[in-house]
Structure 1
Amino acid sequence: MALPEPEDLTSLVLRTDFSSDAAWEGVRAAIDGSDEYRHATYVSDRSFSGVSVQALVDADAAADDDDKLCYLFVADTITMTDEEHPLLAVDLYDEPGRTFRVPPHWYADISANLTIANMDFAEFADAVDASGTFRGFDGG
């Protein structure tokens, strides 16, 4: 399994739950509505249905150096069913497999900073609340 490449200056949002097309469209609308700029490359491919974080880490590790990703966002069952639609952010570079949740409201900030390597994945992951969700550096 090869991971899709995000378009330039965007982050990969990979759908792994296919229980509701309406929920997927809602997640996309929430991400797109969080900022005036485009920050996401959406992939909705049933071959990724139910894929585990470890499988994503392994797929990235097996990729050629030019095709490796540093991180991605997963739209999984929790994303699709939780009213807040928190995406699962996955580190593929520094600490492969490290994750945290991020509501669409914060997606653009994280994506922009990770895309241009202004901040590291760990800076966001270290700032999560007790539920493992990033809600800004002031908790908000």
Structure 2
Amino acid sequence: MLPTIERGEDDEFIALVVRVDYTDDAAWRTVVDRLDGDEDWTVDAQVVDDPAYAGSTVDEVLAAVSGDKMLRVLFVADAATMRDPYPLIAVSTLTREACLDEEQFAEEMRFGREFRLTPAAVAEVHGNLAIANMGFDEFAEAAAGDPERIHRGFAAD
């Protein structure tokens, strides 16, 4: 079992990025450097860089944060993240139980519970989800429309 990832009560506006691939430290530094976004979006990030998570699956990392009811999206850095354009996995933390009914859950997950995004887009996605300005499905749809299935930020469109 993985260690529980603890966040403070006021951390809903802090993006959580968990590293699960430890094959390329230089690429990881690039990912972290690019989290700053651009002039329109910046992000405060809690970066979990703990080898205890090496090789973990998305589901295992989700289980490590399952007690955090304020977390709307989790960002995971896997092996694919360590190659240009360094696409992280954005994972919805929405559960069926948190929805009014099956129809609402299906609508929210219509493009899946995860998608890839560039590190610079983390600020845009996390910020909009934290203030409920946009839904996870809107970002997943944007990623689905990209030839590489990566959300690069709406300003990049």
User: Which range, TM-score by smaller chain?
Assistant: 0.7 to 0.9
Partner of 1:134: 151
Partner of 1:92: 93
Partner of 2:129: 114
Offset of residue 5 of structure 1: 2.3
Partner of 2:7: 5
CA contact (8 A) 2:129 2:135 kept: yes
Partner of 1:31: 35
CA separation of 1:84 and 1:46: change in aligned 2, threshold 3 A: same
Matching of residue 78 in structure 1 with residue 103 in structure 2: no
Classify the secondary structure of the residue corresponding to 1:32: coil
CA separation of 1:122 and 1:72: change in aligned 2, threshold 3 A: same
CA separation of 1:8 and 1:138: change in aligned 2, threshold 3 A: closer
CA contact (8 A) 1:34 1:104 kept: no
Partner of 1:17: 21
Classify the secondary structure of the residue corresponding to 1:47: helix
**Count of residue correspondences:** 134
* Mapped partners of 2:120, 2:42: distance in 1: 13
Structure label with greater radius of gyration:
2
Matching of residue 124 in structure 1 with residue 149 in structure 2: no
Partner of 1:101: 116
CA separation of 1:75 and 1:123: change in aligned 2, threshold 3 A: same
* Mapped partners of 1:48, 1:114: distance in 2: 25
Offset of residue 135 of structure 1: 2.9
Amino acid at match of 1:134: H
Matching of residue 57 in structure 1 with residue 40 in structure 2: no
Offset of residue 26 of structure 1: 1.0
Q: What is the CA RMSD across the aligned residues, in angstroms?
A: 2.5
* Mapped partners of 1:47, 1:126: distance in 2: 33
**Gapped runs of 5+ residues in structure 2?**
96-108
TM norm structure 1: 0.80
Percent identity between matched residues is 39
**Gapped runs of 5+ residues in structure 1?**
none
Q: What does the per-residue CA deviation read over 1:17-70, in whole Å, with 9 as the maximum and x for residues that have no partner?
A: 111222111111111253474331111011111111122334444x3xxx2332
